[in-house]
Structure 1
């Protein structure tokens, strides 16, 4: 019955973004949650600063991780669309196990 519900079938491809959003939200919550203390009750954030890491290095790593993550998401969406439009399996009537 779900296969015949047009509004749901049109809505489901947009749900592909949900795992990425959940992953990013979880990562943000983890990072924000550890800010007051690096080691609870023993070391403050100001004491954990590395003198060898510059702001440019932090920015570069942030940009690179964002680009890599974006490329992986684009490849995932491309492959999902490619295999969703593949009608050879539907025509034969036999789906792979």
Structure 2
């Protein structure tokens, strides 16, 4: 697979990143190395090898969920700086940008 400058530009837009021309050259080289490594892995004969589902034989120890009330909503809202309608009000942090 050939990595083109258009591909890198598209990835940059999707990731909301900006690269200089020098960074694009380095990124192209890195991506080509990664794809070369994956292509090399395709050459390995894995027939007869079971898929690895878990790294270890350890099993999670889980407990049953118990629904219980620890504090009321009103008690939870006592220490918040701004609240309204039973909810915590926070400043908007996500801005929609057009590409």
TM-score tier, shorter chain, comes to 0.3 to 0.5
Bigger relative contact order (CA 8 A; separation at least 6): 2
Q: Taking structure 1 as the reference length, what is the TM-score of the superposition?
A: 0.36
Q: Taking structure 2 as the reference length, what is the TM-score of the superposition?
A: 0.35
Q: Which has the larger radius of gyration?
A: 2
